[in-house]
Amino acid sequence: MTLPPGYLLSTLHFFWTIRDTDTLDRLCSDFGAARYSTNAKTDTTVISGLGPGQRPSPYPGRVHASSLLMALHVVVFALYVGLCIVWAMGLEQRILVAFTSASHVQTWINLISHLIMLLLSIVLVALMQSHATRSPFANLPQPLTSLSDKISSWSGLGSALLNLYHNLSFPTTLGNAILSTTYFATLSGLGISSSFLFTVPAANETISHNVTTLIGSPSVLGMIPPGSNVSGIPSDFTNLTFNWYRSGMGVGVLNSVNTTVFPGLVANRVYDTLLEPWPASSNATATVGFTDFNVKCGSVPGLNASASYSRAQNSQFSDGLSPGTAADDRYPALLSMHYNLGPYAMSVYDVLSVSSSERAVSRLWQPADILLRIPDSSVVPGLGRNIIMYNIYNETGEVSGSQPIRDVQNATGSSESTLVQSLHISEEPGSSSAPPQVGEGAPTASLMIQTIGCSLSTSTGFASLDAATNQLLDLPGAAMGAASHSNWSDWQPDLTNSNALEDTWATMLLPNKGSIGLWDGQPVQPSPLWSCLSYQYDWDTANISTFNTVDLARIYSTCHVPTVVEDYLTTRLFGAVASRDEQGDAVRVSSSADATLSALESALAGLTAMTMWSAARTNTLMVTYAPATRRLSNATGEIALLPSTILAPFNGSTQVVERVLVGRITFNVPALLVGTILAAILAILGVYILASGDAARMRDAPINDAGLLSLMALDNSAVAERLSLSSLDSVKVRRRAGASLVEIVDGRLVPVEKTTS
């Protein structure tokens, strides 16, 4: 209920005009107020139930009410101080909500904060109004207008503002008007700021999850066959034999032009992947380990390369497809290369089918179109990280795409021209079983050779992975396994002999040990395929030669069927075969050729990564322990049992960081700071009002409250009589009429001048 200014004066005038003694008696009886009477004989005022001059005892609970009010003001300020501490520590930002419900959460959390502030305001106003309107009666005498202003100003912010306006025109309690107006304005500001205290903006949040990964590189520990009597990882792989055939079949895929994506493999890098990819909408990434395979190639220092005629008979070859095509003489030749690999004297051999035509380079291993060849070699300690290969090209110009490999300085390196010297065949092919001799006037073929030594090294690290696609976010560098400056400097082989993945490289690429052939190498060929057994094309299957065990061992140790690796390297460097001419020679796409040393290094690194990736993921690598751990005897003899195992995929773990759009609860900083300042002002005002001025003497207040019923219980006839002498039609007139001092004496509200007379 709002009490307008002049409420007390109007009320007292009403009391005086009605002069209803019965009503006053009833109010005094109902509220327990003291009944006052005047003794005409003694001219003294007597309070019923009390002796002359005695006052009623203070109302109980007033001290406790003041303490409670102070505590409530401090609680409001402490609440905002606590929120400021939470904001300074950023604790509120740890609370996340679903992005779809962020607006609802913001509405409800601000509503709750507003309701809390509203509840505190209701309690504060209810207690402060009773306290502040009663306290003026404890500090009498005061002008009646002051009492009216102090009571009416605590009816609300509107009454306080109106009372402030009246005090500006006729000041009686200007300080109290300003104080009450500021108090209610502060409460209103707190109510408004509490409605905007929190915001829930959208934010990209990172959530970590521990997940299982599939290790990208083969596990060295998994290469040890069970039952091999080897504890832990051996210091080197001397006693282990690696069967890379099935793993190496994936190299052929690298030649095809497709968009196939292999999770865990990119260029020369093999990396770990998640066992179960995440949904595409998760926007999640993970940090995984990777292994880069890097190759460095160069010229082989101190190499001695030579070619000699084999003892096999030469043969005539015709493609059988083009009528009138002349037969081509083919001469089997044995290539020998001798070099030093550190302290080891190495010798490698290969067999070629040399044509007497000027297109000999395209017919060395026909129908294979390879130009790069990896000769077989015995694996000795220290060779595991190194490999020898050679490039054949025509001396007089490009034939079937053949050309020298050039380095970054456009140099061709150290080339040997002694591969095939001028061959002079004196007899017609097939006229004699005697081996042909050099210098007998036969047609010549002039070929060039580049002998290349390469070494493998690895580097490991961590990279970011797209958890949805299992693809790396950052791809390897442009070199992709090649040296930064690939040139024909002398090759420095890596003679480290350990148990790292690099030490298995030679067995991966060497023919007859790891690299798979383009076709089967059976002794007798039913089709016109290049054969290791006869060093020539086996057109006449009726003319079958017989060989003893020693001959077969020598043959298979010096030659091999063209391999998938050789075909891949040839295609990468010299271009893919687009078609064949009338003689069956390959015609290559020159635009796809890149006959550079860095391209060779990159190609070797890429095929190594593919083979390693296949071995680690697809159960394709078989490892055998050479020393027999058991032997079985039967009727035919004793059988040695060599422990073997197939490398199984290995699992690891990593952290997937999921980036999701969420609502993050944060403070509206301006509203929080304004609220904190207002709470501090409110606490200061509350303490000031309760501890100073009229409120300091609350114990002496003669009434429990300044409400209408309590005021009616007072005998105010003397004041009413005085006010009735003035016109009460104007607020200003009433305020001036009530400017005289009044006090309560023996239950009566009387002017001060009467009490002093």
Q: Please choose, from the candidates 210, 10, 3, 185, the residue with its C-alpha nearest in 3D space to the C-alpha of residue 730.
A: 10
Please check whether residue 660 lies inside any domain of the structure: no
pLDDT digits (tens, 9 = 90+) for 333-391: 777 888 888 788 888 888 877 777 767 777 788 888 899 999 887 766 567 899 999 98
Please check whether residue 423 lies inside any domain of the structure: no
- Cα torsion through 580, 584, 590, 592, rounded to 10: 70
pLDDT higher for 612 or 431? 612
Other CB atoms closer than 10 Å to residue 1's CB: what's the count?
Answer: 6
Predicted pLDDT at 693: 59
Q: Are 415 and 404 in contact (CB under 8 A)?
A: yes
Whether pTM > 0.85 for this model: the answer is no
CA–CA gap between residue 532 and residue 551 (Å, rounded): 12
Say yes or no to pLDDT of 87 above 50.
yes
Other CB atoms closer than 10 Å to residue 228's CB: what's the count?
Answer: 20
Give the domain extent around 179.
Answer: 7-50+60-200+665-756
CA–CA gap between residue 382 and residue 496 (Å, rounded): 6
**120 confidence band (pLDDT: 50, 70, 90):** very high
CA–CA gap between residue 66 and residue 631 (Å, rounded): 102
Please check whether residue 109 lies inside any domain of the structure: yes
Predicted pLDDT at 424: 33
- For helices 102-134 and 144-152, the axis angle rounded to 10 degrees is 160
Average pLDDT of the chain to the nearest whole number: 75
Q: Please choose, from the candidates 422, 454, 458, the residue with its C-alpha nearest in 3D space to the C-alpha of residue 441.
A: 422
Cα distances (angstroms) measured from residue 416 to each of 334, 389, 449: 16, 14, 5
What 8-state DSSP symbol labels residue 248? H
Say yes or no to pLDDT of 417 above 70.
no
Q: Are 502 and 495 in contact (CB under 8 A)?
A: no
Please check whether residue 297 lies inside any domain of the structure: no
> Secondary structure of 638-671 in the HEC alphabet?
EEEECCEEECCCCEEEEEEEEEEEEEECEECHHH
Please check whether residue 287 lies inside any domain of the structure: no
Please check whether residue 691 lies inside any domain of the structure: yes
Q: Are 166 and 158 in contact (CB under 8 A)?
A: no
Cα distances (angstroms) measured from residue 692 to each of 73, 144, 696: 16, 21, 5
The token duo for 422 is: 């001028």
Predicted pLDDT at 744: 66
CA–CA gap between residue 283 and residue 105 (Å, rounded): 24
Please check whether residue 604 lies inside any domain of the structure: no
Say yes or no to pLDDT of 13 above 90.
no
CA–CA gap between residue 49 and residue 532 (Å, rounded): 138
Start-to-end CA span in the chain (Å): 39
Cα distances (angstroms) measured from residue 755 to each of 47, 144, 145, 716: 16, 15, 19, 14
Q: Are 377 and 510 in contact (CB under 8 A)?
A: yes
pLDDT digits (tens, 9 = 90+) for 444-503: 456 788 889 999 999 999 999 999 999 999 887 666 777 777 888 878 888 888 888 999
Domains in the chain: how many in total? 1
Cα distances (angstroms) measured from residue 207 to each of 89, 275, 282, 283, 559: 20, 19, 10, 11, 58
User: What is the average per-residue pLDDT within 676-687?
Assistant: 91
pLDDT digits (tens, 9 = 90+) for 727-743: 556 666 666 666 667 66
- Cα torsion through 479, 484, 487, 493, rounded to 10: -100
Q: Which of 531-543 are b and which e, b meaning 16 or more Cβ less than 10 Å from the residue's Cβ? A: bbbbbbbbeeeee
Please check whether residue 488 lies inside any domain of the structure: no
Q: Please choose, from the candidates 301, 595, 251, the residue with its C-alpha nearest in 3D space to the C-alpha of residue 453.
A: 301
> Secondary structure of 380-412 in the HEC alphabet?
CCCCCCEEEEEEEEECCCCCCCCCCCECCCCCC
Say yes or no to pLDDT of 320 above 50.
no
Say yes or no to pLDDT of 533 above 80.
no
CA–CA gap between residue 290 and residue 269 (Å, rounded): 7
As beta bridge partners, residue 462 has 289
User: What is the average per-residue pLDDT within 571-592?
Assistant: 85
Strands 577-580 and 586-588: antiparallel
CA–CA gap between residue 428 and residue 713 (Å, rounded): 151
